[in-house]
Structure 1
Amino acid sequence: MSHEFPEDHKQAVYNAIYQRRDMRHFLPTPVDPDILNKLLAAAHAAPSVGMMQPWRFMRISDPTIRQSLHLLAEQERVKTAQALQQREDEFMQLKVEGIMDCGELLVVGLMDKRENFVFGRRTLPEMDLASVSCAIQNMWLAARAEGIGLGWVSLFDPDAVRDLLGMPADTKPIAILCLGHVEKFYDEPMLEQEGWIKSGKLTNVVMDNGWEEDKAAKAQQRD
């Protein structure tokens, strides 16, 4: 008995995967609340280790808070550029976020009291982060299917964002998500489109029966 989707359904799934982009350019058009709820529901349907569902989504509707998040991202953008040394000027030319432009802004955080969940985390406590990443990817793919762009911003000081949003001390913000309508989706990942980095080959990251140093080196080189 086959459990596979019909061919057109399978193609739709692959279309969402391969056409998904980390978006930084948005139109000011508001996102329909029903669509936003569908995207949040898709995120909440993600797998999580021990069924802990560690994701917490904070919708930012206050323009003052949005502006503050933008300033925190800008501060980190400058520090990141400085850390890149010889590529500082090149990095500063990149558009790295659309916080002030997107129709909806979400901050995603790891829940508090995560230490109470041991199932699947005794030796790998970072599986809470992996679980939240699955939720964000679910939202990303659902957004692409709905024709909505999503950009994951990680340029911020987690402590500063935690303080800004009044989050408990044992939580951790891990993403600012810019969500909204776009004029078009990038033909290829924007960092590749802008010549910042070249995408690596699948053959360099798939290994047989253990770690293959040559393949690891090629993956690092992005040849």
Structure 2
Amino acid sequence: MSTRHREQHKLGTVGWLRAAVLGANDGIVSTSSLILGVAASHATHQGILVAGIASLVAGAMSMATGEYISVQSQADTEQAALAKERDELGENPKGEHQELTNIYIARGLDAALAKQVASQLMTHDALSAHARDELGITEAFSAKPLQAAIASAMSFAAGAVLPLLVAAFAPLEHLILSVAIASLIFLAFLGGLAARTGGASVLRGILRVTFWSVVAMAATAAIGALFGTVV
């Protein structure tokens, strides 16, 4: 009875994990810090919630816009590189064949096998072969601006809504402490989950996220208390 050998690697999750963690972490830290700053200024409960909602919407839109522009620039660069490669294949196919052969030789194939592999791949799809092995562009990892923008906005909003919900239901006199503790719990869980999924140290991931989040929240709360209204 034959068994199929499957290897489980963490590297496949790194790309989406980094983007999701970055967006959710920004959402929690930004919104909770703003809520704490506004609350420390002795604002009303309604004013705190309005500020939190504004932070969620503005942050999500900012993340989406920034991610779209960044990834679209990458997509434009990839398309320009592919267009240039397409022209070179039309103008000098022998030179491009030799270039692909040299790539495979550098990876460990002997010259005869490298030449044969290059010939077969170029016969099948020359542009795809050069895009993948010369330029490092593949369909799975090619830039997708709209998808990246939507994912960034959603991950930010998912993170931002957590401290906002705590602020909405916590009594005003306990709001600062409730939001701070809840946000740190959310961030610790997020940092630990990301570290575990990526195969890194869970404790280190938790400490790294919570430490810098405490710094951000404390700084914003201090500013709110310093320049806020006196009651």
TM over 0.5: no
* TM-score, structure 1 normalization: 0.25
* Bigger radius of gyration: 2
The structure richer in helix per residue is: 2
The structure richer in strand per residue is: 1
Q: Work out which structure has the larger RCO, using CA pairs closer than 8 Å and 6 or more positions apart in sequence.
A: 2
